[in-house]
Structure 1
Amino acid sequence: MPGLQHAITIAAPPERVWEVLIDVERWPERIPTVDSVERLDDGPFTVGSSARLRQPKLPEAVWTVTELTRGMSYTWESKQAGALSVASHVVESHPDGARLTLAVSVSGPLSGLGWLFTKGLARRYVETEAASIKSVAETRG
Structure 2
Amino acid sequence: MMRLFLLSSFIIIVSSTRWADYDVLSAHGKVFKALPWTPQELLHVSSLHSRAEYHKLMRFIKDKLIESGDDLSPRDRELIERFLVSKRPPRVVDNLFDEDEKQSIDHYHSRGDVTDVLSIWSHALQRLPEKAREDTVAYLTSSD
TM over 0.5: no
Which structure has more relative contact order (CA 8 Å, sep 6+)? It is 2
TM-score (norm 2): 0.31
Q: Which has the higher helix share?
A: 2
TM-score (norm 1): 0.31
Q: Which has the higher strand share?
A: 1
